[in-house]
Amino acid sequence: MANILYPPSRPQSVGEILDSAFRIFRATVVRCLPFGALALIAGQLPNMYYLGTGGVQAMGAAAYKPLWWVLYVLGYAISLVMWSVILLRQYALARGAETSAGSALAMAARRAPALVVLGILVVLAIAVCFVPAAAFHVPSAYGVALLLAIPATYVAVALSCAWVALLLTGKGPLASLGYSWRLTSGNFWRLSLIYTVALVMIIVLYVLAGLIAGFLSLPLAHGDIAVVTAVTTVVVVIVGAIGTPFYSALALAVFGDLAVRKEGTDLAQRISAPAT
């Protein structure tokens, strides 16, 4: 890749960060599509199993039972590895380096236990913000939970760079959380704006995809719900496979900007060396 897209040479504006994310996405999306599709499919592992063995009725009856949870955790772990492969490939390609899918997959697999622990810690950190709501009775609890969503959102934004830090710097789960908190400190509103704009774009993409799926399936289905469901599922997988690399490209662009903004270009250059 002739154009070096990462790390940035200076702190960037909100528009520049989004532009960097789009450029990384465009340059890497083709090589990341298969892993994006696998991540989405793995996330539906419980539903796929029960739908294949007993149909829609079995899928609904088995929800949240022990085997369902086993399949859910397995699918979540596979999705984490696939997401990490995407980020690692984008990281290498954006720096003008080449990395094989096999090497990225091996590195992501080695970090899988740490990734799972990190995911659990992030969920717990956000969930703790809602604990005070349990002291109130319905309907008051709803208002309290809504109020507590403010600190929960702050925590989510503050820890949003932990995944990238774990993969690119070799830090452990706790160290990655602390590192993300330091990087994002003082940037809550900027990051909130960046994530909100990206979320709106993804929502628009899914809405358009749903409309296209309906437009294509209804003339062919002739009232057959199974055909409509099959076409919609295929479209969702395609859109998800495209959307996942955009999420990781955005995370990489945000991380690079914060590293330069907080700790200088020298750090950005150091973390651009291959992670071990």
Q: For residue range 244-254, list pLDDT tens digits in order.
A: 899 999 999 99
pLDDT in tens, the chain (276 residues): 456 888 888 889 999 999 999 999 999 998 998 898 888 888 878 777 766 676 556 556 666 677 778 888 888 889 999 999 999 999 999 988 877 888 899 999 999 999 999 999 999 999 888 776 555 554 555 666 667 788 889 999 999 999 999 999 989 999 999 999 999 999 999 999 999 999 998 888 778 777 776 676 666 655 556 566 666 667 777 777 788 899 999 999 999 999 998 876 444 455 555 454
154: in domain = yes
The count of domains in the chain is 1
> Domain for residue 5, yes or no?
no
Domain-embedded: residue 159:
yes
- Cα–Cα distance for residue pair 169/40, rounded to 1 Å: 26
pLDDT tens column, 120-154: 999 999 988 877 655 555 455 566 666 778 888 99
CA 188 to chain centre: 19
Is residue 191 within 8 Å of residue 154, measured between CB atoms? no
17-45 confidence digits (pLDDT tens): 999 999 999 999 989 988 988 888 888 78
Question: Looking at the domain assignment, is residue 4 inside a domain?
Answer: no
Residues 171, 184: Cα–Cα separation, whole Å: 17
What's the confidence (pLDDT) of residue 106? 92
Q: What is the pLDDT at residue 183?
A: 93
Unique residue bearing structure tokens 């899918």: 101
Can you give the pLDDT at residue 266? 47
Q: How many C-alpha atoms does 46 have within 13 Å on its Cβ side? A: 19
- DSSP designation for 138: T
**Domain range for 109:** 14-271
DSSP string covering 228-271, please? HHHHHHHHHHHHHHHHHHHHHHHHHHHHHHHHHHHH-HHHHHHH
Q: Which position has the token pair 């949240």? A: 64
Identify the pLDDT of residue 264: 66
User: What's the pTM?
Assistant: 0.81
pLDDT for the residue numbered 25: 93
Q: Residue 224: what are its φ and ψ, rounded to 5°?
A: -80, 110
pLDDT of residue 133: 56
What local confidence, expressed as pLDDT, does residue 276 receive?
44
Alpha-carbon distance of 88 to 93, in angstroms, equals 9
Residue 138 carries which side chain, given as an amino acid letter? V
Give the count of beta carbons closer than 10 Å to the beta carbon of residue 74. Answer: 13
Cis bond before residue 34 (omega within 30° of 0): no
Other Cβ atoms less than 10 A from the Cβ of 37: the count is 17
Expressed in percent and rounded to 5, the helix, strand and coil fractions of the chain are 80, 0, 20
For 199, residues 6+ apart whose C-beta sits below 8 A from its C-beta are none
Structure tokens at 104: 């990225």
Structure confidence at residue 16 (pLDDT): 93
- Is 207 part of a structural domain of the chain? yes
Identify whether 7 is part of a domain: no
Residue 3 lies in a domain: no
131: in domain:
yes
